[in-house]
Structure 1
Amino acid sequence: MGENQLKREISLFGAFSTVMGTVIGAGVFFKTASVVSFAQSPSLTIFAWVLGGVLTICAGLTSAELATAIPKTGGAVKYIEYTYGKLPGFLLGWAQSVIYFPANIAALSIIFSTQFIHLFHLSNGSLLPIAIGTGLSVTLINLLGTKAASQLQSFTLIIKMIPIALIVLAGLFMPSNVEVSLLPVKSGGDSGFIHALSGSLLATMFAYDGWLGVGTIAGEMKRPEKDLPKAIFLGLTFITIVYVLINIVFLKTLPIQQLSGNLNAASDASNQIFGAVGGKLVTIGILISVYGALNGYTMTGIRVPYALALEGMIPFSQQFQKLSKKFVVPYIAGIFQFSIAAIMMFLGSFDLLTDMLIFVMWLFSLLIFTAVLILRKREPELNRPYKVPLYPVIPIVAILGGLFILITTLFTQTILASIGISITLLGIPVYMVNKKLKNK
């Protein structure tokens, strides 16, 4: 593993900050609408956010064992390839290239456009042009080089915490406009409890997304065996508390009917708490946060097809390997990613896109959790600088949580799940054809 001679400079606080910066994005502001529309009750809404946090902590602690044991460039693709073989590893890279990153970019562009229209009272007809322009602008910034993209990311990382802190601190101490009952946990409306829980839990997963990348910093930590589990546990626990608190604020500020399906809920709650002018300022902060999240996914995403191309694993690998002469960026991969994202903007809504990408990624997450169990048995001598605590309880909790999300989504959102699985399986003939062409 000599390819990864990384300096061990990251402290516990540095790792904690990385967890916070990686996971907190746009979902905390906009997934309440979807969670509430499934749950139809304050108690189940909050329960879904708590349960989502617990599953994310178990997932993060589990996947981090592979990150330290297999510290190769490529992250999760390499974990799956190492455990199951080349084809499953390729399918994850394929799914990330054609579903996960483009769908994230499309969804975040749509939500940015939705908030922009709401802030400036524009017509709904401008939704798609603004969304496409937003996604294109971020892609162009990334094509100007890593430095420009990194500077934008650093700026938005600071800004994104401001609206969250303002809403939580001010909202919790304001008198409640709505009665919020957190116990007993029950669903509202006509749907059954399992259907309501599965839909609302899947929705929270977008807000918690990002945990899979947390373990990739293990090779640069001073004491990964001690500090990595602490950083993951403390970081994700803090995020869970923040998410629960901000949702309690939303629930006590606006009636549940006004939250359900309302992508402007965060903005409406801010107006209620801070007044018209203060609400607009908070909404601007939210817009900057969304733009930063969009930049993060764009910056990371264009490097996935590029990495696959370097190994000759995709068609037109020579083109995808190309770097711009001036800025040294994989520009063909950037154009490819934005083109898929633009098509998705025409075809899907924010919730549809985010639910599909989360479903597909949890398919592979389940393979990662299981890989920990497989490798413990198959390769007990493998060097593991960090081992998941309370083994095998935490991996099993992560596996059971993943199975619940996947199975219930298959039954409750069959078309969405089928589309995600079908696009992923399309990678098999792509892999086979490309392999034949390489062997000629």
Structure 2
Amino acid sequence: MEQKKELKRNLGVATAMALVVGCVIGSGVFFKPQAIYTATGGAPGLGMIAWVITGLASIAAALTFAEVAIMIPKTGGMVAYLEEIYNPVVGFLAGWVQTILFYPAMISALAVVCAQQAGLFIGDGFTVPLAIGIIILIILLNNLGSKVGGSIQVIFTVCKLIPLVLLMVFGFVKGSGANPIFSPMVGDGLSPAVVLGQLMVAILFAFEGWTGVGAIAGEMKNPSRDLPIAIVGGVSVIMGVYFIINIAYLWVIPASELATLTAPASAVALKVFGDIGGKIISVGIMISVFGACNGFVLSGSRVAYSLAAEGNFPFGRNLAKLNNAQVPTNSIILVGGIGCIYAISGQFNLLTDLAVFSSWTFYTLTFIGVMKLRKDRPDAVRTYKVPLYPIVPIIAVVSGVYVIINQLFMSGLQSTVLSVGSIIIMLVGLPVYTVVKKKKDKKKLQ
């Protein structure tokens, strides 16, 4: 009999927090200001407030998510959580959607925007092949071992913070500071209540990725201690960075002008550092996005591995294999390979919209799961509890429900079509689960 291999527990809190920060701070902080100030009609006030509101909602979600992650510290993240809280079908559908839609869409979107920034140096026309090349490189690096993938995450997280810090410091030093920051709230004729909903959906993409650390709990040295620190600490750092850098943007360029710029960070750099500044920041953006893309490959492949290891995914035996470096090489290739296919579209916003909606249904079920576990297992040992229970989980649940409703009914035809398509793919998972389960049951009988 071949000796069973197990994932090594060699990831610490620094790598886990770097995974949170690295997955989240990718492209949103550089590109979303345009969508934000377009929605506000060129007014800065509600845009700045929305960063805080959405950040606090994300912290509530992270605090809630952490309790489930600590109680069920298994590799696979939400798949394992939902399977144990509800039933195997819900867990499978979460893993199916994450493996087929969420992680590949995020990986491809980040690779596409990274390739677009590289176009400043090598010219246009290479976006799709370069994006595919970036994904293939990350696949190869992650196959060298979880320590390599984790080390890449730490290095690129540190590197990506350098241009952000430079923009914040020199934005305040060299910016005029004459532009309004918190007023007016919105442009003439706009409803703050309606605009706030649009802003939260846009900004939630910028916070996307903090749940990925739960997927590597099985490879952490001390998940009970390190996981809540990584999740909550990481999201708090992110909120602070986002808020400060957006003030720095406005310190240099008014909101009405940022609304017209597809790359506001580069525009601010041009104002602060001159012509060379734009290219310096473009390199920083490429580093930032590459690190985020690596994080999604690292965590996404563990979701596929978890399903396969339990025999709950097509071709499970192959996907559950570990290479000599003890990482799930075929699962890494699967998630990255689907990302390569999606990257052919070359559409950053389309891919991110698809990714966000495909994940939030299961995020919300995870938040609800905290309250369900409190009811079903009141005497269970909880080394970490959500503070201010049940207020914090309710905030997380309400935020999740709002995102789902907004994407389905309030964000335009394209958003509705993408959301319905995501639901259809999720439902396709039901017959896939039936086939896989029958095959698994047959093997047990044999």
Report TM bin, short chain: 0.7 to 0.9
Match of 2:366 in 1: 368
In 2: Cα distance, 1:243 partner to 1:346 partner: 30
Matched, 1:423 2:425: yes
Q: 1:337 aligns with which of 321, 335, 338?
A: 335
Number of aligned positions between the proteins: 430
In 2: Cα distance, 1:309 partner to 1:241 partner: 38
SS in 2 for 1:383: coil
Deviating more after overlay: 92-101 vs 150-159: 150-159
Q: 1:191 to 1:103 in 2, by over 3 A?
A: farther
In 1: Cα distance, 2:157 partner to 2:292 partner: 9
CA drift at 1:201: 1.3
Q: 1:247 to 1:376 in 2, by over 3 A?
A: same
**What letter is aligned with 1:172?**
F
Match of 1:399 in 2: 397
CA drift at 1:36: 2.9
In 2: Cα distance, 1:357 partner to 1:5 partner: 29
**What letter is aligned with 1:283?**
S
**What letter is aligned with 2:61?**
A
Match of 1:312 in 2: 311
**What letter is aligned with 1:378?**
D
Contact preservation (8 Å) 2:96, 2:426: yes
Contact preservation (8 Å) 1:28, 1:207: yes
Match of 1:152 in 2: 152
Q: 1:438 to 1:4 in 2, by over 3 A?
A: closer
Match of 2:119 in 1: 117
Contact preservation (8 Å) 2:44, 2:180: yes
1:230-289 deviation line (CA, Å, top 9, x unaligned): 765554333212101112222343344543374422222212111122332232122112
**What letter is aligned with 1:173?**
V
Match of 1:296 in 2: 295
SS in 2 for 1:390: coil
Match of 1:25 in 2: 26
In 2: Cα distance, 1:345 partner to 1:404 partner: 29
CA drift at 1:394: 0.5
Aligned-residue identity in percent: 39
Contact preservation (8 Å) 1:273, 1:279: no
- Aligned-residue CA RMSD (Å): 3.0
In 2: Cα distance, 1:102 partner to 1:318 partner: 21
Matched, 1:359 2:361: no
CA drift at 1:177: 7.2
1:161-186 deviation line (CA, Å, top 9, x unaligned): 10111111111233337722413533
In 2: Cα distance, 1:73 partner to 1:304 partner: 7
Contact preservation (8 Å) 1:202, 1:358: no
1:290-348 deviation line (CA, Å, top 9, x unaligned): 11111121122223222211111111212223344x54543332332233212212336
CA drift at 1:47: 2.1
Match of 2:82 in 1: 80
Contact preservation (8 Å) 1:270, 1:283: no
Contact preservation (8 Å) 2:70, 2:223: no
Contact preservation (8 Å) 2:44, 2:184: no
Q: 2:376 aligns with which of 366, 375, 378?
A: 378
Structure 2 gap ranges (5+): 1-5
1:196-249 deviation line (CA, Å, top 9, x unaligned): 32332122122212322456769755984xx87676555433321210111222
**What letter is aligned with 1:355?**
D
Q: 1:217 to 1:434 in 2, by over 3 A?
A: closer
CA drift at 1:363: 0.9
Contact preservation (8 Å) 1:23, 1:211: yes
Match of 1:346 in 2: 344
Deviating more after overlay: 356-365 vs 100-109: 356-365
Contact preservation (8 Å) 2:11, 2:147: no
Superposed, which structure 2 residues align to 1:278-293 within 5 Å?
Answer: 278-293=277-292
**What letter is aligned with 1:42?**
P
Provide TM-score, normalisation by structure 2.
0.87
SS in 2 for 1:314: coil
Q: 1:67 to 1:144 in 2, by over 3 A?
A: closer
Contact preservation (8 Å) 2:80, 2:91: yes
In 2: Cα distance, 1:42 partner to 1:102 partner: 34
